[in-house]
Amino acid sequence: MQIALLINKYIFKEFISPFVVNVLFFTFIFLMAELIQITNWIVNYNINLFTILRMIIYQTPYFLIFVIPLSIMITILLTFLKLSSENEIMAIKSGGISIYGLLAPVGVFCLIGFVLTLFMTVYGQAWGRTALRALTLQVVSESIDIGLKERTFDDSFDGVTIYVNEINLRNKNLVDVFIEDNRQPDRVNTVIAPRGIVFSDPDNATAHLRLFNGSIHQTNLNEKTAHAIHFDTYEISLDTKRSVARKKAKPKRPKEMSFKGLRRFVQSADRKDGRYFSVLLELHRRLALPFGCFALGIIAVPLGVQSRSAKRSFGLVLGLFFFLFYYLLMSMGKVYGETGAYPPQVGMWLPNGIIGGLGVYFFIRTANERTLKLDTV
């Protein structure tokens, strides 16, 4: 009994360092997928580094709901690959301890992963997504001018098209500005100026362009007349309150809703439309993913134990294959569940059942000293 306890403690300690490394590594990989968007914010929109860091932090909880189960699986797999290659598994068996006796540290480790993932799905994801959305709206309202790009016709402002040949992002000076103002139904104003500056009014979600030493060419469509006006200073306001208010009024996406909000929506829904299925699927996804730690953890044990030193790389490849297979099943469940092709509950829980079932089957074969014969596939 004492020996078994010492072995369990030893195996559990072997999990800790690889798990931390795996979480950091896979989180970094997930963040790399956002590199293009991050670069776009920095280069084109002049967002400062602190804001970028906040955006990354807010996105991290969503990444972790996938990273933690994956890290649990890879950690268990690597640990048992190491024990198997160094003949420690054989020594443990020689000491009278079966593979079933090694389930205790694996179960505790998976339970820790389950709790961490459940915390992220129930609290972390909604907090991160809501905070990210609020930060994005704040950036838009405080820096409305960041939407302007060099040598691009920008028609994002209602009734106004703007073209700027050159933009100094540091002092927000504009060079060679062209504006076509169609906000009056019977009149078109074309404004041309060699220089201008842009500033914003965050409280009113309004951007202002102040132009210098330019001209206004007015065309009256009803009277079919045109005339030009030269100016030293001219200011034009671009009201974006309508577009910002539209974003604020937009209902939360399922990924942004709290766990209680998801349950409340499902219970009070009057009809089963596309949004209902999306919310129901998200609710079960947040519950199913934490249990994936157990399904992926149990299948990692036989894969690690049965991989001899010469086939350690093959065992790792198998582990990654089964995780990708698990993720593929989740993706298919999401696609078909959102359309109502089959119940979202089935789509989200089936991957756990399949991978967990395979894991139990492989584990029993391994405990009975029977090979998996996966290297012949």
Mark whether 155 and 262 lie in a shared domain: no
Q: Of 198, 228, 245, which one is at a domain's C-terminal end?
A: 245
Q: What is the pLDDT of residue 245?
A: 47
Count of domains for the chain: 2
Q: What is the pLDDT of residue 49?
A: 82
Rounded to two decimals, the pTM is 0.73
- For residues 113 and 257, state if they share a domain: yes
Is residue 287 located within the same domain as residue 234? Answer: no
What's the sign of the alpha-carbon dihedral 106, 111, 117, 120?
negative
User: Using CA atoms, how far apart are residues 174 and 162, in angstroms rounded to an integer?
Assistant: 11
| Together in a domain, 206 and 102 | no
213 and 339 housed in the same domain: no
- Taking the C-alpha atoms of residue 41 and residue 136, their distance in angstroms, rounded to an integer, is 11
Q: Which of 297, 292, 304 is nearest to 372 (CA)?
A: 304
Residues 220 and 367 in one domain: no
Q: Are residues 104 and 152 in the same domain?
A: no
What pLDDT does 241 receive? 45
Q: Where are the alpha helices (DSSP H) in the chain?
A: 2-32, 35-45, 49-85, 88-94, 103-119, 125-142, 241-249, 259-268, 274-305, 312-338, 344-367
The domain boundary residue, chosen from 228, 245, 262: 245
Residues 285 and 264 in one domain: yes
- On the 0-12 / 13-18 / 19+ scale of CB atoms within 10 A, 377 is exposed
Given 221, 245, 269, the domain boundary residue is 245
Same domain? For 257 and 366 the reply is yes
Domain limits for position 156: 148-245
Beta carbons within 8 Å of 337's beta carbon, 6+ residues apart = 277, 280, 281, 343, 344, 346, 347, 348
Tell me which residue of 94, 84, 137 sits closest to 249, measured CA to CA.
Answer: 137
Whether residues 136 and 267 fall in one domain? yes
- The answer on 163 and 66 residing in a single domain is no
User: Does residue 199 sit in helix, strand or coil?
Assistant: strand
Strands 173-184 and 160-168: antiparallel
d(CA 276, CA 262): 10
Would you state the pLDDT for residue 79? Answer: 92
The helix/strand/coil state of 208 is strand
Q: What are phi and psi of 157, to 5 degrees?
A: -90, 135
Bridge partners of residue 178, in order along the sequence? 163, 192
The residue whose two tokens read 């059942």 is 353
State how far the alpha carbon of 116 is from the alpha carbons of 70, 124, 256, 293, in Å. 13, 10, 19, 10
* Contacts made by residues 168-174, CB under 8 angstroms, sequence distance 24+: 169/46, 171/197, 172/145, 172/197, 172/198, 172/199, 173/197, 174/148, 174/198, 174/209
The CA dihedral of 283, 289, 290, 295, to the nearest 10 degrees, is: 140
**Shared-domain flag, residues 355 and 290:** yes
* Angle, vertex CA 84, rays to CA 80 and CA 90, nearest 5: 120
Q: Residue-wise pLDDT tens for the chain (377 aa)?
A: 678 888 889 999 999 999 999 999 999 998 888 777 777 767 655 677 888 889 889 999 999 999 999 999 999 999 998 888 888 888 887 777 888 888 999 999 999 999 999 999 999 999 998 888 888 777 765 655 556 778 888 876 777 888 999 887 667 788 999 999 888 878 888 999 999 987 766 555 567 789 999 999 988 877 788 889 999 999 887 765 444 444 454 577 888 888 888 889 888 887 777 788 889 999 999 999 999 999 999 999 998 887 654 456 777 888 889 999 999 999 998 888 877 778 888 889 999 999 999 999 999 988 887 777 665 54
- Which pLDDT does position 205 carry in this prediction? 55
